[in-house]
Amino acid sequence: MAEKPDLAIPTELLETMTTFNEEMADAGVLLDAGGFLPSSVDSYRLVFGDRSGPTIMSGPFDLSKEDHVCGYWIVKAKDAEEAIGWAKKVPFPQGQLIIRKLSDACDLGKGSPGFIERQKRLRTKLLENLRAAEC
């Protein structure tokens, strides 16, 4: 595994993004956010297709065709319009942002007895793991 590179993110950008994240958190819409190291650092893609096991490839995508993914936000919005409204406020000097809708236990577990309760227990465990992993 490669060592973590010196990210050297400008302080002004960190401050601006942190302020934006705090605004979303205070509004109750930000559930999670994070940044990625450059795609060249310990980044892999597994392609599943047959019983011989996955093919392991370097990078999360074909770097000759796609840009670097710098980070993510998980936002709980009431609809696409609200999600787009928050996305328009992202303090990017340039780049692009992709909005995708996530499913949750309520979407997936309507026909499975006990699924939603299991997902709630899992979510509690994930929060414990997240707290334990903080630097």
Given a cut of 70, whether residue 2 has pLDDT beyond it is no
Domain that holds residue 30: 1-102
Shared domain for 79 and 115, answered yes or no, is: no
Task: Return the percentage of the chain with pLDDT > 90, whole number.
Answer: 43
3-state secondary structure at position 21: helix
Number of domains in the chain: 2
Predicted pLDDT of residue 124 = 94
Same domain, 78 and 109: no
Q: Please say if the pLDDT value at position 37 is more than 90.
A: no
Q: Which two tokens stand for residue 100?
A: 């995708």
Q: Do 117 and 78 share a structural domain?
A: no
Mean pLDDT of the chain: 86
30, 24 Cβ separation under 8 angstroms? yes
For the domain that residue 83 is a member of, what is the CATH number? Answer: 3.30.70.1060
pTM given for the model: 0.75
pLDDT in tens, 44-91: 889 898 888 999 988 777 666 666 678 899 999 999 999 999 999 999
Q: What is the pLDDT of residue 103?
A: 84
- Do 3 and 39 reside in the same domain of the chain? yes
116 and 94 within one domain: no
Q: Which range scores top for mean pLDDT: 49-53, 81-85, 93-97, 128-132? A: 81-85
Answer yes or no: do 41 and 89 share one domain: yes
> What are residue 78's phi and psi, to 5 degrees?
-75, -25
Q: Tell me the C-alpha distance between 42 and 3, whole Å.
A: 9
Specify the pLDDT at position 5.
59
When pLDDT is averaged across residues 33-49 and rounded to a whole number, the result is: 86
